[in-house]
Amino acid sequence: MAGQLKEVRNRIKSVQNTQQITKAMKMVSAAKLRKAQDTIIQMRPYAKKLQEVLSNIVSSSEGDTPIKLAEVRPAEKVLFIVITSDRGLCGAYNANVIKLTKLTIAEQYEEQNKKGNVTIWNIGKKGFESLLKQGYKTDETYKDIFLHLSFPNVQAAAQAAMKAFENNEFDVIEIVYSEFKNAATQRFAVERFLPIPKVTPAATAKKSNTDFIFEPQKETLIAELMPKILNTQLYKAVLDANASEHGARMTAMDKASENANELLKSLKISYNRARQAAITTELTEIVSGAAALQG
């Protein structure tokens, strides 16, 4: 009986120690989330408007000088830029990004994958480790971006992708990431990076065509503006993923702390029952001993 009480006490202590860790991690993630959330909320309208401008320019340039980054080719060689986190303990966040990547490859690029023509550039260690183990053709060049998250580091990845597309190393480039909604909600998305998508006919019908006046010359402006907008597009996706990671971890640690509370309640009830049984047994033994002496 004494051994059972000691075992329950040890379990209670272990759960309490774990709960302290989960609460601390929740507080750290909450602090990081506030900063990441402010950054992406400020960035999103700017990036969205730039993307609209870029799509309109590409659509209005049909028939003019061809734009290399908007060139639509048969999708023989495909690149995925997959954005996950460096660390775990964030619920199903990383698993959902990886699952969406595999699903997209299976549904849209199965033939290319069988030929070995699907390449994955990982941003974040978790995605790299998982996809490498599962036999996908991965590249670790940019997996450590989150160690020093900054625009220049993301820009280097975006420029490398643009150069590879221009050199016909890839025909299609997709970004797989998690779009931040709030601390408890993320939207996992696949977004076309290259070739630059044109404005769809449905979108064009909803609003009148924008007649841009270019200064300086259209070709010069496009050559300067297009890479900057694409850099911003990838940076926005990385910031979205960063905020999503902290939100997912905060939610996961909050749930873990709640589960620890429930487990502690159950263990304390078990401890009290075992202690009561031990006291009852001791009293019974004392009474039995006293009765034997009297007899």
Catalytic (active-site) positions:
90
Between the CA of residue 252 and those of 69, 97, 202, 280, what are the distances in Å?
Answer: 40, 16, 40, 42
216: left (phi over 0), alpha (psi -120 to 50) or beta: beta
* β-sheet bridge partners, residue 176: 82, 190
Q: Which residues contact 63 (CB under 8 A, 6 or more apart)?
A: none
Q: Cβ of 61: how many Cβ atoms within 10 Å?
A: 17
Q: What is the DSSP letter of 70?
A: G
Whole-angstrom CA distances from 170 to 131, 141, 233 are 19, 17, 18
Pairing of strands 185-194, 172-182: antiparallel
The residue whose two tokens read 């009297």 is 294
Amino acid at 246: H
What 3-state DSSP class applies to 85? coil
Closest CA to 123 of 158, 92, 90: 158
- Specify burial of residue 78 (Cβ count, 10 A radius: 0-12, 13-18, 19+): buried
